[in-house]
Amino acid sequence: MFLSYLRSSAFCIVLLTTICLSSASAQQRFSAGPRIGLNLSKFGGDVRTNKFHPGLSAGAFLMYSSLNHFGISADILYSQQGAAFRNPDGTDLNYNQRINYLEVPVALRYFLTLAGNFRPNVYFGPSIGFRLNAKNNLVPAPNNENTQSFNAANLGLLAGFQLNWKAFGDRQRFLI
């Protein structure tokens, strides 16, 4: 029940934020809009045939930057993660795992310039992910629902740099 409420609330927040605030700006301090990206994830450990599994990352962001070098931002993102691997002994065993999350990263930012059309910044902060669902595809038994096999919430850290150009909006981000 809680997860269904969380999903519908998150969807409404993302939709309203994207529609209402897609290019909001007040005295050059606030910016908001959609975010879309690509996740490349894989399992850790010693699986030799472990491969990156591509997934969608989409949602909305809100950023505040003060008149000096500092700022803060928060995102609400739907994030597809997982992994894929093959059995190394040549048998016909393929395994694909998909885990979908609602992620809420919050980042403290340091802008390298005070103003202008180009404002690069570095950022870091926590990110919490709420598991929405999970499925695996194993060749003998496809489409297995295995949501309960994964933690209901994940806490992580993010760090990276972002290049903000006025002409393109505040949407160019590179995550380490």
What pLDDT shows up at residue 20?
Answer: 43
With cut-offs at 50, 70 and 90, classify the pLDDT of residue 30. Answer: confident
What is the Cα 47 distance to its own chain's centre? Answer: 25
pLDDT tens digits, one per residue of 136-154 = 887 666 778 888 888 899 9
What pLDDT shows up at residue 132?
Answer: 95
| Global pTM value | 0.71
Q: Rounded mean pLDDT of the chain? A: 79
CATH number where 69 lies: 2.40.160
Q: Is 7 helix (H, G, I), strand (E, B) or coil?
A: helix
Q: Which contiguous run of DSSP H or E holds residue 6?
A: helix 2-20
Q: How many domains does the chain have?
A: 1
Could you list the residue range(s) of the whole structural domain that residue 143 is in?
Answer: 2-175
Q: What is the mean pLDDT of residues 100-115?
A: 93
Alpha carbon distance 123, 107 (integer Å): 6
With cut-offs at 50, 70 and 90, classify the pLDDT of residue 67. Answer: confident
